[in-house]
Structure 1
Amino acid sequence: MRSRETPRFVATILDWPPTASLARLALVSAYLLGAVVKAADFPGAVAEQAHFGMAPPAFWAVLTIVVEIVGPLLILTRRWLWLGAGMLGVFTLLAAIKANAFWTMPAGQDRFMAMNAFVEHIGLIGGFVLVALLDRRERVA
């Protein structure tokens, strides 16, 4: 095996038909769970939006729940996957900017934690770009 070849056991996992579906589910699972939790505790979802200064908070709570349900379903069903990935990517960027504005914080542990959370959100956005890119490549191949 050359150093740049994929090891056989890794190739076997990547070639296994359910792997792509499971990877998409892993990518969107936090959003689906978030939607269920927010829908089950709608007053809490409204309070969360108010905490972040979103007005009117009930509107933003409903919109968040819709995005966290519709985006993942589009990705999981591969129907307009690009749209679901775009929805969740934009949502994730806006949420990261609003909730993890580390650049406004003084140096210290809180800033460090907010910066880590922000960068993790950027990683998720990269995942959404990749899932849309791979879906497009598969469809045009």
Structure 2
Amino acid sequence: MRVLGGLERGAVLDSPSWVATLLRQPWVMPLFRIGLVSAYLIGGVTKLLHFDAAVAEQVHAGLHPGWLWAALAIFVEIAGSLCIIFNRFTWLGAGGPAALTVVAMLVANSFWRLEGVARFIALNNFFEHLGLIAAFVMVTYLASGERRSRV
């Protein structure tokens, strides 16, 4: 498969010319990688600056010991985000936040235990998180394609 600027050639060729031109710009993929991890990066830094609140958040979600889960979340959110932003060890950088997101989905968005409006909100959050996990898979795929195209 030939990769062009991190995107499969067919994907670019199947797009209108203005879309293909935009996607070929060197700043596009870095910008979208930053966008993808922005909530994780900001969340990790905020947890680091307010560690007591991060511990309380983990305990509230039923994760014990809270300090360990908070420290793990901080490391995964910051280190994983930086791996994705700098496009290095992307598979690892994406895997960490994806795994953390799975835990969050199962612990904080367990819609199957709720009813009414709470179920509706948790169901939406669950599938929004599932979309983020899919985006982490896609960014890993694109990064591996970029490396293959340079060889």
- Aligned residue identity for 2:113: T
Misfit runs of 4+, over 2 Å: none
**Map of 2:90 onto structure 1:** 81
The alpha carbon displacement at 1:102 in A equals 0.2
1:17 maps to which of 22, 26, 38: 26
Offset of residue 93 of structure 1: 1.0
Q: Which residue number in structure 2 is paired with residue 125 of structure 1?
A: 133
Question: Which stretches in structure 1 are left out of the alignment for 5+ residues?
Answer: none
SS state of the match for residue 48, structure 2?
helix
Q: Percent identity?
A: 47
Correspondence for 1:139:
147
Tell me, yes or no, if structure 1 residue 7 matches structure 2 residue 31: no
Calculate the TM-score normalised by the size of structure 2. Answer: 0.87
Cross-structure match for 2:49: 40
* 1:111-122 alignment, distance < 5 Å: 111-122=119-130
Instruction: Give the TM-score normalised by the residue count of structure 1.
Output: 0.93
**Counterpart residue number, 2:74:** 65
Following the alignment from structure 1 to structure 2, what is the Cα–Cα distance between the partners of residues 62 and 139? 32
Separation of aligned partners in 2, 1:56 and 1:135: 35
Structure 2 CA distance for aligned equivalents of residues 7 and 138 of structure 1: 22
Shift in Å at residue 5 of structure 1? Answer: 3.4
Aligned equivalents of 1:134 and 1:77: distance in 2? 13
Amino acid at match of 1:111: R
